[in-house]
Amino acid sequence: MIHASRGMKAARQLLEPFAGILISDRHGAYGTHPTHQRQLCWAHVIRNLERISGRKGDPGELGLWLVRVARLIIRLEHAWRRSAYRSPHYRRRLEQARENFRVALEQGYHQHRGQRTGNACKALLDDEPMLWQFLHSPGLDLTNNTAERALRPYVIWRKTSFFSQSERGDRFRTRVVTVTESCRRLELSAYSLLRQVCDQGIRKQPIALRLPIDHLYRIPPTRQLENRHAA
């Protein structure tokens, strides 16, 4: 969706029909999405912690410790994923890392209350449930890198063009980028697909061509995981 704003109203309009789990950064516009349906991007969390680690004294030491724990969490999740989410060992270690992370944040909040470091720790404690959605929904990515990579070609296109000058142009960009990115993910030719759609339209025929997205989503999650490992 193309919108003049990146605020809460635009996010609500975009996500209103979305019933899945949103993997995002901590941008405030996503605050209306239910907490139990959000997974925060750990890459963004680590960037926030690295800012703390660059400070002098106790805040810097706390930041370094939190960064190490956060990176350990990512490594443990990857190991748990490689076990097809069957390993109780990695699950227990993730729970231990979660407890250590929370305790360190609480200590940082109480020791540096009213300061930048304390405020940052308090904010992460408030968002803590959204850090661990992947424990309850195995298969979730820990970052929103996939979405950012999907948006990158459009962002470059926007910066190197005159953008669009009408509502019709906005709709065209939204739809054509959606189609081309979907085709890329499905390993289909966007040119061939659009050519078939245009051919049906010129002949005044119903547009019968459909991407096989529904079919893909009917694959059981365990089968999807096996396919990813095989790839």
The confidence score (pLDDT) of residue 212 equals 65
Mean pLDDT of 113-122: 95
In this model, does residue 231 exceed pLDDT 50?
Answer: no
216 closest CA partner among 193, 185, 192, 189: 185
Question: Which residues have CB under 8 Å from 186's CB, separation 6+?
Answer: 211, 212, 213, 216
In this model, does residue 21 exceed pLDDT 80?
Answer: yes
In this model, does residue 51 exceed pLDDT 80?
Answer: yes
Summarised one tens digit per residue, pLDDT across range 203-222 is 988 887 777 644 433 434 44
Summarised one tens digit per residue, pLDDT across range 80-93 is 999 999 999 999 99
Q: Give pTM, 2 decimals.
A: 0.76
First vs last Cα of the chain: how many Å apart? Answer: 31
8 A C-beta contact, residue 157 and residue 174: no
pLDDT band, residue 113 (cuts 50/70/90): very high
The C-alpha atoms of residue 120 and residue 204 are separated, in whole angstroms, by 58
- Percent of the chain exceeding pLDDT 70 equals 91
Summarised one tens digit per residue, pLDDT across range 122-167 is 999 999 999 999 999 999 999 999 888 888 888 888 888 877 778 8
In this model, does residue 226 exceed pLDDT 80?
Answer: no
Summarised one tens digit per residue, pLDDT across range 160-205 is 887 777 888 888 888 888 888 888 888 888 888 888 888 989 998 8
Partners of 124 in the β-ladder: none
CA dihedral sign of residues 34, 39, 43, 49: positive
Q: What is the DSSP string of 168-216?
A: HHHHHHHHHHHHHHHHHHHT--HHHHHHHHHHHHHTT-------THHHH
